[in-house]
């Protein structure tokens, strides 16, 4: 039974590495989860900054120093990309939930659009802010 027509069936994503070929659909899906979870770092920095701002003095200097340091700049810039990516990927989920764009080619195209559009929005955000 075990070797009857293994066919050309998809493999579990948990076989990442030598058995699993990355696809736009699975990669944009896992990226949505990674970006969402990683936003806790920026959220922490923002709350720290607001707390420092509300207290003033030394507290503000430390919080402001951290969020505007070179490390803070890298974290915040990456987080802006993560935020836009996660937002757009969320929009894609909302569209999917209405039953639209569910064909594989449509989902792949939407994934490519999300990756590119998030980059454009990040550049705009960095310029405007």
Partner 1 sequence: MAYMTDRKRANGLGSAHSGAHHHWQIIVSSVVLLVLVPLFVFTFGRVYGEPFEVALIYMSRPFPAVVAGLTILVGFYHFAIGARSAVEDYLGGWTRKLVLIGVNFLCLALAGYGLFAIARLALLPLPPM
Find the shortest distance in angstroms from Cβ 115 to partner 1.
18
Residues 102/96, Cβ–Cβ less than 8 Å: yes
Q: Of the candidates 31, 75, 82, 83, which one interacts with partner 1 according to CB under 8 A?
A: 83
Nearest CB to partner 1, comparing residues 2 and 128: 128
64 binds partner 1 (CB under 8 A): yes
Which residue in the block uniquely carries the two structure tokens 């569910």? 102
For residues 90 and 86, what is the distance between their CA atoms, to the nearest angstrom? 6
Residues 27/107, Cβ–Cβ less than 8 Å: no
Binding site listing for heme: 86
For residues 49 and 55, what is the distance between their CA atoms, to the nearest angstrom? 10
Residues 101/92, Cβ–Cβ less than 8 Å: yes
2 binds partner 1 (CB under 8 A): no
The torsion angle over the Cα atoms of residues 39, 40, 44 and 46, rounded to 10 degrees, is 30
91 binds partner 1 (CB under 8 A): yes
Q: Which 31-60 residues touch partner 1, going by CB under 8 A?
A: 33, 36-37, 39-40, 43-44, 46-47, 49-51, 53-56, 60
Number of residues located near partner 1, criterion CB under 8 A? 31
Q: Name the residues that contact partner 1, by CB under 8 A.
A: 33, 36-37, 39-40, 43-44, 46-47, 49-51, 53-56, 60, 64, 67-68, 80, 83, 87, 90-91, 93-94, 97, 125, 128-129
């Amino acid at each position: 039974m075990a070797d009857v027509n293994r066919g050309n069936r998809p493999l579990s994503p948990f076989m990442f590495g030598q058995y699993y070929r990355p696809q736009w659909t699975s990669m944009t899906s896992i990226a949505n989860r990674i970006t969402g979870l990683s936003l806790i770092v920026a959220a922490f920095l923002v709350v720290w900054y607001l707390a420092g701002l509300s207290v003033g003095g030394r507290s503000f200097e430390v919080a402001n120093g951290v969020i505007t340091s070179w490390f803070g700049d890298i974290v915040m810039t990456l987080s802006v990309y993560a935020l836009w990516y996660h937002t757009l990927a969320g929009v894609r989920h909302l569209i999917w939930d209405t039953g639209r764009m569910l064909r594989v080619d449509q989902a792949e195209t939407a994934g490519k659009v999300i990756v590119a559009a998030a980059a454009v929005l990040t550049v705009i955000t960095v310029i405007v802010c």
